[in-house]
Structure 1
Amino acid sequence: MYLENLVFDALDPQRLGGFWEAVVGGETLTDEPGIYETRLAIEGGPVLDLCFQQVTEPASAPPRIHLDLRGGARQAAEVDRLLGLGAERLDIGQGDVPWVVLADVEGNACCVMEERAAYSDTGPIAALPLDSADPDWDAAFWSWLTGWTEVVGPAPRSLRHPSLRGPLLELCPEPAPKGATKNRLHLDVRLESGEDPDEVEAAIVEHGGSRLHTNWGDLPWRSYLDPSGNEFCALPAH
């Protein structure tokens, strides 16, 4: 398996997807009613698709995963660029911190980070901080699930693509346990050719995850929860 998608719930997929495509310099893959997809290819590293699927209700719970954007020496200029694209400054009680918190065009929080050695060669997305009830357990789970390897980072546990390029997946202590509300942003993994979905499901459960049974109709992928209750999907092999 490998990490393929960052999936956003969106009231207006074209507007939100267009914003993020401009932010990361992506390439449009899909632009159809109810869905927008853009591809971020990191030279020598992972290929990640940002997918925007239409929902009817605005976000109602604090995010458990968000995007940290690389700013570095150009932090102020990057903030200005995002504001020009439609982002707004956001106060979530962060206080005096070296990063800048913004809201995208649908109010989702993101951060523009200061210079950090850990974020070299990440591309435009520096990190994906994910709330975790147990960063050690979740790091082991996500490393097994994606093939990403542990690296030194600002979070208690951080993972990265084996190329050591692209964003970090940062397992951060959760401020509160996961509630029943679905995460507004989730990750998708893709099965490799020859991997059996039933065997993968059994292994997910063995590693501490669980199947998420939904009423979303007959879909070609399966939905799961990680050990901390964060949703993810396992897509069939191409």
Structure 2
Amino acid sequence: MRLENIVWDARDPHRLGRFWAAALGAESMTNEPDLFEARLHLSDEAFLDLCFQRVASPSTSPARLHLDLAGGPRQQEVAQRLLDLGAEHADIGQGGVPWTVLSDPDGNAFCVMEDREVYRGTTGPIAALPLDSADPDRDTAFWAEITDWVPRAGTTTLRHPSGVGPLLELCPEPEPSRGKNLLHLDVRPDAGDHDIVERVLERGATALSDPSDHPWRVFADPSGNEFCILARQS
């Protein structure tokens, strides 16, 4: 299993996709009328694909997944570069915090993080993927099962087993899920992983699509966050 995609719903996937590809230094892969995809290389073997799919009416539910970008000692320089690319300052009630909150061209909030010890070992432009959770300990175990990412001792965060890339942070939710997420994650099973659907259901996932709907299956994790299980790796 691997965590393969970060997926955005967008009215204009090309506009949003070009922003994030430039912001993260990702390589454009697919440029179809209703889909834009780019690959973010984390190492010679590890990557995350950024997928932007067209939807007629994006969800207006509160965001439960967002990106925390690596800023560190260059935080203000990084933030200014993103503003030059089309981001805007955003007020989501954060008050006086050491990180900078911006929004992308579709209004999705994200953060440029200050220097933190926990991020100093991360690689690439994304420091963390914070995901709201009703029970972070439970959901850390759930996401470890479906991504093969490794929990960090004493925390509710996960890391790629090679140690590269961002953290996946399970964060206490401010409120329960109230609808479809604008951003979600996709995982892809290995060729020999034939019982992944049974395993995620046993661990509290809810099926949101039928096997005949798409080549992939849509589920919600135990806290109601959507994710997709893609076709098995060939």
- Pick closer, same or farther for the CA change 1:106–1:152 going to 2, 3 Å: farther
Root-mean-square deviation (CA), in Å? 1.6
8 Å contact from structure 2 (residues 58, 182) kept in 1? no
Distance of 2:79 and 2:102 partners within structure 1: 8
- Pick closer, same or farther for the CA change 1:194–1:68 going to 2, 3 Å: same
- Pick closer, same or farther for the CA change 1:99–1:68 going to 2, 3 Å: same
Distance of 2:105 and 2:94 partners within structure 1: 20
Count of residue pairs the alignment pairs up: 232
SS at match of 1:21: helix
Residue 152 of structure 1 and its aligned partner are, at CA, apart by 5.6
SS at match of 2:223: coil
Amino acid at match of 1:188: D
The answer for the alignment partner of 1:186 in structure 2 is 184
Unmatched 5+ stretches in structure 2: none
Distance of 2:153 and 2:191 partners within structure 1: 31
Amino acid at match of 2:193: E
- The one of 215, 222, 237 equivalent to 2:217 is 222
8 Å contact from structure 2 (residues 68, 130) kept in 1? yes
8 Å contact from structure 1 (residues 44, 163) kept in 2? no
Q: TM-score, normalised by structure 1?
A: 0.94
SS at match of 1:141: helix
The answer for the alignment partner of 1:195 in structure 2 is 193
8 Å contact from structure 1 (residues 45, 163) kept in 2? no
8 Å contact from structure 1 (residues 45, 165) kept in 2? no
CA deviation string 1:101-147 (max 9, x = no partner):
00000000000000012112331000000000000000000001101
Residue 46 of structure 1 and its aligned partner are, at CA, apart by 2.6
Residue 206 of structure 1 and its aligned partner are, at CA, apart by 1.0
Distance of 2:182 and 2:177 partners within structure 1: 13
The answer for the alignment partner of 2:33 in structure 1 is 33
Output aligned runs, 1:2-41, within 5 Å.
2-41=2-41
Output aligned runs, 1:18-167, within 5 Å.
18-43=18-43, 46-120=46-120, 121-151=122-152, 157-167=156-166
**Which of structure 1's runs of 4+ aligned residues deviate more than 4 A?**
none
- The one of 208, 215, 227 equivalent to 2:204 is 208
SS at match of 1:224: strand
CA deviation string 1:9-65 (max 9, x = no partner):
011000000000001100011001000000001125631000000011144111000
Amino acid at match of 2:196: V
Identity among equivalent positions (%) equals 56
SS at match of 2:190: coil
Distance of 2:12 and 2:34 partners within structure 1: 8
Distance of 1:217 and 1:186 partners within structure 2: 21
Q: TM-score, normalised by structure 2?
A: 0.95
8 Å contact from structure 1 (residues 159, 168) kept in 2? yes
